[in-house]
Amino acid sequence: MARTRAIVITGNGTNCETEAAHACRLGGFDEAVIAHIAEIISGEITLDDFHFLNLTGGFLDGDDLGSAKAQANRLKHAVVAGTGERLVAQFSRFIAAGKLILGVCNGFQLMVKMGMLPGFDGDHLTQSVTLTHNDCGRFQDRWSYLKVDPDSPSIYTRGIDKGIYLPVRHGEGKFVCDSEGTLERIRRERLAPLCYSDGEYTTRAMEFPLNPNGSQEAIAGLCDPTGRIMGLMPHPEAFVHYTQHPRWTRESLPVEGDGLILFRNAADYVKKHLL
């Protein structure tokens, strides 16, 4: 029987790879491999062998050129040893094969700076949005309410009733588009599956601290038109069990944390569509 396989890329400053791999396994993947980016550039590991790619949080290259910018340049121009193939061709082939990509925090920053999102018209290499410094001028480490758009094409947020509660921890999480036209198309195609919200998940939160960074239209996550490629600033892998909740000793909570459904939806999709 075919096995569902997830890969979590690490190296150059990521720091959430173990949690992401654990979330993949809890969500239903048979295998979750943590691979250093050097193993992929060297040709030891290829993305072609996996169904679900995770780009995790952290501080890639110390954010010295801006969050994830150095890694974005590296991945777009690196050549896989012994093949002559640019690494970005593996990413393009992965997407063309109908597979799944989830970027969280620094991984989301990487995706927008590579141009992978919003992926208009199948173009995943042209940047049109970014994530920049929080309006408050400092790093934010807090929990956020996230309202779900039920009409978004995202496969990750399917089955979520109103919203989810997840932690954020970032200094450059403000979502900004390059033009009103880009923002309007995101609105029209419902490509923002998650936005910062109030505690009842009824309205978009534009004011700090409910909106921790000042994102346009309170956008906390973005997907491409297929719904298979998504990035978000909050950390779903950091809330997959009730003991990770900040009030777990004072409230009666379900065993499963709110973030687990994203990984379960990914595993279910792979089983139904890619095996």
Q: What sign has the CA pseudo-torsion 133, 136, 139, 143?
A: negative
Helix (H, G, I), strand (E, B) or coil at 132: strand
Domain 5-273 is in which class? alpha beta
β-partners of residue 145 are 165, 197
Would you state the structure tokens that stand for residue 242, as one six-digit string?
Answer: 């009730």
Confidence grade of residue 100 (pLDDT, cut at 50, 70, 90): very high
CA 144 vs CA 24, 45, 165, 192, 198: distances in Å: 22, 36, 6, 16, 9
Q: Is 235 a catalytic residue?
A: yes
Per-residue model confidence as pLDDT tens digits over 114-171: 999 999 999 999 999 999 999 999 999 999 999 999 999 999 999 999 999 999 999 9
Active-site choice (51, 124, 170, 235): 235
CA distances (Å), origin 72, targets 62, 76, 264: 13, 6, 28
Give me the DSSP letters along 47-81: GGG-SEEEE--B-GGGGBTBTTHHHHHHHHH-B-T
Who has greater pLDDT, 1 or 270?
Answer: 270
Q: Which two tokens stand for residue 122?
A: 């199948």
Mean pLDDT of 21-37: 98
* Catalytic one of 16, 105, 177, 195: 105
Note the pLDDT of residue 93: 97
- 31 catalytic per annotation: no
Whether the pTM exceeds 0.85: the reply is: yes
Q: Residue 1: its pLDDT value, please? A: 60
Question: Residue 62: what pLDDT?
Answer: 85
Burial 66-91 (b: 16+ CB within 10 A, else e): bbbbbbbebbeebebeeeeeebbebb
Q: Is the peptide bond before 118 cis (omega within 30 degrees of 0)?
A: yes
What percentage of the chain carries pLDDT values higher than 70?
100
**Spatial contact of 209 and 173, defined as CB atoms under 8 Å apart:** no
Cα–Cα distance, 25 to 56 (Å, whole number): 15
pLDDT bin (cut points 50, 70, 90) of residue 64 is: confident
Q: Are 223 and 230 in contact (CB under 8 A)?
A: yes
Q: Is 237 an active-site residue?
A: yes
